[in-house]
Structure 1
Amino acid sequence: MSSNHTTRHIERRLGDSMRRHLPRPIAELVMFTLKQGWACLFGALMLAGLILSDAIWQDTWALKRYDALVIYAIALQALFLIFKLETLAEARVILLFHLTGTAMEIFKVNAGSWAYPEPALLKLWGVPLFSGFMYASVGSFMARVIRIFDMRFAPYPPLWMTFALGAAIYLNFFSHHYIWDARYVLFAATLVLFLRTRIWFRVAETDYWMPLPLAAFLTSFFLWLAENVGTGTGTWIYAGTDGLSLVSFAKLGSWYLLLYVSFVTVTLVMRDALISAPLTKGRATTSDPQQAQ
């Protein structure tokens, strides 16, 4: 039995148990929460690694904390592939987001936006190599949550427009250091392009939907919370802060935009989830032929 079939079997049994003991709305809320937690497993384990390593690491140890986090992240990725928690196709796209995230980290650190204060051997231009896995965890969540919730996105705009938006957002993270910051234009562009797009998802046997921009905003809030774990453990420090205060709420906007970069990247291997026409139910199973080209 495949890992995906095993997961669905466990989910079905757990859902049946919940519905026997809880009112249906509460049971489905519990299942929704559990499935979200399962989808963000990679990110949760990375955060656990930050917290645990900060609590136990000693400066006198031969292996530096950042280097240990690189080894830990590679081991996690290997285990996800061995146990088929991610497919090879998903892993390739997540690797792409890992590389683009690392490139942005190198630029931002050398531009003085934030810093990694601890020493390490596995550092590239001031950026420890585990940082790319933090971006990869966002891509992992995207790929897994789409599959776990059997998501459909409808009506989905033309692919070329979504890729153009993703490229513009990514470039703005670099260009705003030299020219006008276009983030407010990009915020508006996400709404113009995706306001009509509903994310259809399934909990137990019931289909639900949420506007895609709202889902992106809610996800960005949880990423902002996760980022406070990184600063709270001293793993990275923003310029002009002491590492003890909360991360600026402006970072919510940055994460909101970066989520679209991650999302359009993941759609490279999730074409079947993209439906060009509006849906009244979330169970359409084929994508528009034009979307698959």
Structure 2
Amino acid sequence: MVYLRQLYDFAYQQAMSCIFPVSIFLTLALSKVLHVPGLYRYDFILLICLLIQYVMYNTGLETKDELKVISVFHLIGLALEIYKVHTASWSYPEPAWTKVMGVPLYSGFMYASVASYMCQSWRRLRLQVHGWPSAVWTVALGGMIYLNFFTHHYVYDFRWVLTALLFIVFFRTSVQFSLQQATYKMPLVLSFFLIGFFIWIAENIATFFGAWQYPNQREAWQLVHIGKISSWFLLVVISFIIVAQLKHLKVRKIKASHNY
């Protein structure tokens, strides 16, 4: 019975942490069947995303610090989207008023939803990271991963080299989370993979509802290539590094103010 209660608690906390991404998926599905006269579909999705963000912040489901982190991810994601659309990796074929260089502004919220999940689950599950490497290594590794998303179109794709470096840098790093009175640990790299896998599942749902379109999906929807899991795995690493470094920075500021 204890394990069942903990499993229920874990499922509940995960569900609450996924409010933002689930809301986006529901919006994508709704926008397939609901058409607002005079309003393009992508613009409708953007308005709903903004409304969701407003409601979450004003109801206390999201803190001010979490909103700041999410905004950073929105900009990072939008920059990556513009580049990927320019290189024809995928496309947004429908018209919209709120498109920037062929990319609808709502797309940044899909990256922001990943950050929202991380921030929410970190708080709700009382996450603690043990054995976190020096910022010199984590920031450099995160920067190289993000840069590789851009450069692999023209030079060698270093994703597997970067993955090997991940295992080296985070070899001793684990994440601890709490369920009621119990605590559990798992290797941090394993958590990266699990989150990346579930994002890949979510990506299949998103492309099915027309959030964006890969070249092989122009004629008819197809399952997203399983190799995309590695891309999401690396993107999760970037997300986690940014969230973790910002939290460490906040802790240091609090300690410094107390010492002062």
TM category (shorter chain) comes to over 0.9
Cα distance in 1, alignment partners of residues 115 and 210 from structure 2: 24
* Conserved 8 A contact 2:28-2:210: no
Letter matched to residue 44 of structure 1: V
Counterpart position of 2:235: 258
In the TM superposition, 1:1-293 aligns within 5 A as 23-57=1-35, 61-242=37-218, 243-271=220-248
- 3-state SS of the aligned residue for 1:113? coil
Cα distance in 2, alignment partners of residues 113 and 211 from structure 1: 32
RMSD of equivalent CA atoms: 1.9
Please report how far the alpha carbon of residue 273 of structure 1 lies from its aligned counterpart in structure 2 after TM superposition.
10
Residue by residue over 1:38-91, the C-alpha shift from the partner in whole angstroms, topping out at 9 and shown as x without a partner, is 111111111111111113237xx3111100111111111111111122221221
Cα distance in 2, alignment partners of residues 288 and 207 from structure 1: 25
Residue by residue over 1:93-145, the C-alpha shift from the partner in whole angstroms, topping out at 9 and shown as x without a partner, is 21111101000000000100000111110000110000000000001111111
Cα distance in 2, alignment partners of residues 265 and 272 from structure 1: 11
Residue by residue over 1:4-36, the C-alpha shift from the partner in whole angstroms, topping out at 9 and shown as x without a partner, is xxxxxxxxxxxxxxxxxxx11111111111111
Residue by residue over 1:157-205, the C-alpha shift from the partner in whole angstroms, topping out at 9 and shown as x without a partner, is 1122111111100000000011100000111111111132111000011
Cα distance in 1, alignment partners of residues 66 and 135 from structure 2: 18
Q: What is the aligned length?
A: 253
Mind listing any 5+ residue stretches in structure 2 that lack a counterpart? none
Letter matched to residue 255 of structure 1: W
Mind listing any 5+ residue stretches in structure 1 that lack a counterpart? 1-22, 275-286
Residue by residue over 1:202-247, the C-alpha shift from the partner in whole angstroms, topping out at 9 and shown as x without a partner, is 0011000111111111111110111111110122110233451111
Please report how far the alpha carbon of residue 268 of structure 1 lies from its aligned counterpart in structure 2 after TM superposition.
3.6
Moved segments of 4+, more than 6 Å: none
- 3-state SS of the aligned residue for 1:207? strand
* Conserved 8 A contact 1:89-1:269: no
Cα distance in 2, alignment partners of residues 219 and 77 from structure 1: 22
Cα distance in 2, alignment partners of residues 225 and 182 from structure 1: 24
Looking at secondary structure, tell me which structure has more helix per residue: 2
The TM-score with structure 1 as length reference comes to 0.82
- 3-state SS of the aligned residue for 1:269? helix
